[in-house]
Amino acid sequence: MNDNFPVGFIGLGTMGLPMARRLLAQGIRLVVHDLDEQRCAELARAGAQVAASPAEVADQASIVLASLPTPWAVEQVALSASGLVHGKVSRIFVDLSTAGPQTAQKVADALAVRGITAVDAPVSGGAAGAQHGTLTMMASGPQEAVNEVRELLQMLGKKIFYVGARAGMGQMMKLINNLLSATALAASCEGLALGARAGLDPRVMLDVLNASTGRNSATEDKIPRAILSRSFDLGFSLQLSFKDIDLCIRSAEALGVPMWSGNHVRQFYLSALAMGGTDMADVARCFETWAGAEIASTASATAAVPSA
């Protein structure tokens, strides 16, 4: 950051709003845009300027960050008639979204024609990580551009990894991470539902797994927090989780790589959506239904004993 322009931030959703708040709290001048006027007004009260469009953001900010829910939203913000591609000041676009490598490459190519460098830096760590500045970031793009925005990224994340110079490499890394995270949750729920059906206490099962080789982020955090507790609230939507899994598999197909396990995981999350699930944790309900047992402590469990 070696100019006197404010920083742009587009997308004030579950992840974007706390990230924008952090930047403001650390003295960064922001110009923001979002379709939600109330969120824009909240940041305006905290000192941010509000722009009417992505192009207007890019008329004022040389570095523009975006945190958006879908590949389509990223393309619209970057390349539409009111997109930042038409801005007069913007030099670097940093996409913090999970939009997939194909979208990242398309956006990077189109912006390059207008002299704007694209950096894709998707994040991992959820809303809590965004709030506390402990996100993990996977950045790709020209090394010089990544170095220029590193100070900003360090205000948002605890670990910044540079994964490659080609547009979309950060996106590919993020999709692989999210697929493995979703796989760990599904596989762990399948095993716990089996154990519950056999009469084992899921709380005891988790203690054993977390002291053994079966431990993972689902057994250590997600399942105790949102499934064993029966809250089914991990704070990450099931629809977005399915989107990330689907993007990963489509990206693999584009490279000619078969995804045997990934396709099964995709079906698990699609089944959870078909059952009316809304949070990522709702994938557990599929395995509970199929096993006829709840992943709950013995005192409240409804585990069925197989009939002879």
Residues with catalytic function? 174
Polymer length in residues for the chain: 308
* 3-class DSSP assignment, residue 237: strand
The answer to whether 268 touches 257, Cβ cutoff 8 Å, is no
* DSSP code at position 86: G
| Token pair in block for residue 307 | 């009939």
* 3-class DSSP assignment, residue 85: helix
Which one-letter amino acid corresponds to residue 218?
A
Which one-letter amino acid corresponds to residue 12?
L
CA–CA dist 39, 144 (Å, integer)? 33
Q: Which of 106, 122, 217 is nearest to 161 (CA)?
A: 122
Four-residue CA torsion sign, 60, 62, 66, 70 = positive
The answer to whether 169 touches 136, Cβ cutoff 8 Å, is no
CA–CA dist 182, 266 (Å, integer)? 9
Strands (E), the chain: 7-10, 30-33, 49-50, 63-66, 92-95, 117-120, 123-124, 135-140, 157-164
